[in-house]
């Protein structure tokens, strides 16, 4: 398991750092990962996953995490309360509550598993993309949220800041990496899965009020396979399926630079016109 602590020099590790407090962990929202309102959802999900991965009873590699965002997280201390719901021979089922004061702000379900060699078949293919070094890095000065500054983003297509059409498809393909570069782990991949800009903004060309309600990541590598990733960069592909009745979905894939499928992700987002 990866044990990140506040002593790490990387801003990401400081943002997800937790301190044991009996059966719970305590942490603090990071000013470096603030969004329009409250912290960037990806960093909150990564912090929740970290509470499990540093737990002394955790066994295996994460295969999934689902986080439900119940209310806005304030800029004050958070308490994470993990619970091992069931421990099977090949997997563990965990639940986590993220609490501020007397309010539960997030709930989460995490599955860890001891993966075994089985039949394999990859049903999607690595997207056709030029090398990251041939693409310009996103100028994050054009976007106010602090969290955007923590990523090196290089768009193949679907950059809402440079496209001038009144309406465009909701699909994006881009290279992403922590800034400064950081070795990939399950926590960082979780956060990166939420680093796609809301598909609504790209589709309508305007910043409408929106917020993630539920967010899921499925991991397709184990700890050893992830440790073999030499590159700190990933290729992300995202699109929406439908915008309707104040909600839209957002789906994506995260690929290693060696064309390994690392994770798939989906979320449901509330929005207002």
For residue 15, the domain's CATH number is 2.40.160.210
> Does the residue 2 lie in any domain?
no
Does the residue 6 lie in any domain? Answer: no
Taking the C-alpha atoms of residue 248 and residue 271, their distance in angstroms, rounded to an integer, is: 8
Nearest Cα neighbor of 63 from 115, 121, 107 is: 115
The answer to whether position 69 is within a domain reads: yes
CA angle 271, 272, 273 (to 5 degrees): 125
Rounded Cα distance, 105 and 96, in Å: 11
- Alpha-carbon distance 197 to 70, whole Å? 20
In a domain, 123, yes or no: no
What's the domain count of the chain?
A: 1
Q: Is there a domain that residue 17 lies in?
A: yes
Residue 186 lies in a domain: yes
Domain presence at residue 64: yes
pLDDT of residue 5: 43
Is 120 within a domain?
no
Task: Give the integer Cα–Cα distance in Å for 63 and 143.
Answer: 33
Kindly give the confidence (pLDDT) of every residue in the chain, 273 residues in length, as a single tens digit, with 9 standing for 90 and above. Answer: 444 444 479 999 999 999 999 999 999 999 999 998 899 999 999 999 999 999 999 999 999 999 999 999 999 999 999 999 999 999 999 999 999 999 999 999 999 999 999 999 999 999 999 999 999 999 877 677 999 999 999 999 999 877 566 667 899 999 999 999 999 999 999 999 999 999 999 998 888 899 999 999 999 999 999 999 999 999 999 999 999 999 999 999 999 999 999 999 999 999 998
What pLDDT is recorded for position 132? 97
Cis peptide bond N-terminal to 179, omega within 30: no
Which residues, at least 6 apart from 32, have a Cβ–Cβ distance to it below 8 Å?
11, 14, 15, 146, 147, 149, 150
What's the domain range around 68?
A: 11-114+128-271
Distance CA 216, CA 45 (A): 9
Q: Is the dihedral of CA 221, 2, 64, 190 positive or negative?
A: negative
Is the full-model pTM beyond 0.85?
yes
Q: Rounded to whole angstroms, how far apart are CA atoms 105 and 60?
A: 27
Copy the structure tokens of residue 218: 């499925």
């Amino acid at each position: 398991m990866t044990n990140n602590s506040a002593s790490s020099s990387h801003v990401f590790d400081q943002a997800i750092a937790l301190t044991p407090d009996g059966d719970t962990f305590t942490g603090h929202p990071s000013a470096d990962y603030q969004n329009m309102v409250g912290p960037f959802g990806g960093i909150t999900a990564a912090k929740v996953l970290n509470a499990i991965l540093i737990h002394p009873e955790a066994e295996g590699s994460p295969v999934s995490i689902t986080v439900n965002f119940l209310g806005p997280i304030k800029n004050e201390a958070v308490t994470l309360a993990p619970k091992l719901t069931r421990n099977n021979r090949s997997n563990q089922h965990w639940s986590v509550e993220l609490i501020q004061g007397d309010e539960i702000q997030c709930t989460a379900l995490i599955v860890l598993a001891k993966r075994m060699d089985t039949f394999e078949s990859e049903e999607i293919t690595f997207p056709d993309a030029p090398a990251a070094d041939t693409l310009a890095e996103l100028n994050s000065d054009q976007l106010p949220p602090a969290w955007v500054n923590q990523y090196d983003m290089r768009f193949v297509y679907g950059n809402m800041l440079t496209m001038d059409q009144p309406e465009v498809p909701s699909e994006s393909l881009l290279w992403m990496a922590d800034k400064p570069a950081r070795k990939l782990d399950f926590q960082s991949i979780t956060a990166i899965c939420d680093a796609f800009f809301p598909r609504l903004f790209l589709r309508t060309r305007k910043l409408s009020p929106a917020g993630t309600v539920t967010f899921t990541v499925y991991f397709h590598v184990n700890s050893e396979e992830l440790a073999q990733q030499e590159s700190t960069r990933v290729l992300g592909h995202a699109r929406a399926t439908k915008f309707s009745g104040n909600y839209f979905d957002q789906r994506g894939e995260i690929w290693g630079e060696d064309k390994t499928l690392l994770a798939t992700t989906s979320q449901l987002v509330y929005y207002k016109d």
